[in-house]
Every structure is written in C-alpha cells, then in structure tokens.
Amino acid sequence: MQKYIYLYILLCSDKTYYTGVTNNLEKRIKQHQEGINIESYTYTRRPIQLVYHELFTDFNLAFDWETKIKKWSKIKKAALINGNFNLLPTLSKKKFK
C-alpha cells in the first residue's frame, strides 16, 4: 500500500506562513485550527487557512522541501502558493549593491 505525505503551507491570522508535513492533511489542519498544542507556532495565530499543499510518496523528499521552504522569504512563498513558478529562481538570487 502506497503511503502519501503532504507538504502544506498555512496562512496565519497575522499574515505569516507556516509550513509543515503530515500523512493526514485534513486531521492536521483541524489540529492547527483547534489549537490542540499550546507550543505550536499557529496556536496564537489562529484562525489559519490552508493556502498550498503538495502530495509526495517519499517522506524524505517532502521533509527536504519543507526545510527549504521554511527558509524562503515571504515573497518567494507567495510566488509558490500563487503558482508563479517562473519567479522562484529570480527570488532565490541574492541582490548585491
């Protein structure tokens, strides 16, 4: 039986993004929304909204992407969410003066 892993991005009430991985997207979103973990980043930033998700069959690949996306700027995350994939390489480049 094939196992699936979801990479997801939430938009929090303070307009920040939260990125995570889970094997049960519906359950995990509900947990974030209900605030079951007081230590969670999203606990004080509810309500949250699911703005992006992608399905993986390889947990390591999903986790690697989660780690990379967490380091991205807000603008680059927005480009991914909005499907502006052509902007991602440009937004990765450092700007030197």
Q: Are strands 49-56 and 17-22 parallel, antiparallel or unpaired?
A: unpaired
Record: fold of 5-72: GIY-YIG endonuclease (3.40.1440)
Residue 86: how many other CB atoms lie within 10 Å: 8
Domain map (residue ranges) of the chain = 5-72
Query: By percentage, how much of the chain surpasses pLDDT 90?
Result: 86
Contacts of 32 (CB under 8 A, 6+ apart): 10, 18, 40, 42, 46, 48
Give me the pLDDT at residue 92, please: 76
What pTM was estimated for this model as a whole?
0.91
Q: Read off the pLDDT of residues 59-94 as tens digits, 9 standing for 90 and up.
A: 999 999 999 999 999 999 999 999 999 999 888 766
Give me the pLDDT at residue 94, please: 62
Cβ atoms 56, 12 nearer than 8 A:
no
